[in-house]
Amino acid sequence: MKDSLGRTVVGPNGIPLNASDKVNYGTAQNKYQMYISSNLKYKNLSFSFGFDIRQGGLIYSETADLIYFTGNGTQTTFNYRQPFIVPNSVQLVNGKYVENTTPIDMTPSGSLLLFHQ
């Protein structure tokens, strides 16, 4: 969720809030696909190869999601796994957006498990 100035809005625990409206990011269908192959034979020796080319389309990777969740992704080492404040973030306090000063909790039982990029 972003405010009118494009800053990330975080909750009281420092974790960015999800936007309430859904956004269509695109389609999983490729814009085009092509397959090129060749088969060369000489006497009793055969050599074949093929190239499968696909361009466009969006995917969701559950594998990548699991890697980030378990902390094995390189993006999870942000700030050397020390507590950090989401950059360019604000909190809604008494109806006004104020600069966020709440770090994300890095303990295993804390909120880090709920937030990854």
Name residues whose C-beta falls within 8 Å of residue 78's C-beta, 6 or more positions apart in sequence. 84, 117
In the chain (117 residues long), the average pLDDT of successive 10-residue segments reads 91 86 85 94 95 89 85 73 84 92 68 46
Q: 69, 63 in Cβ contact below 8 A? A: no
pLDDT for residue 12 = 86
Beta-carbon count within 10 A of 88 CB: 12
Query: Is pTM beyond 0.85 here?
Result: no
Length of the chain: 117
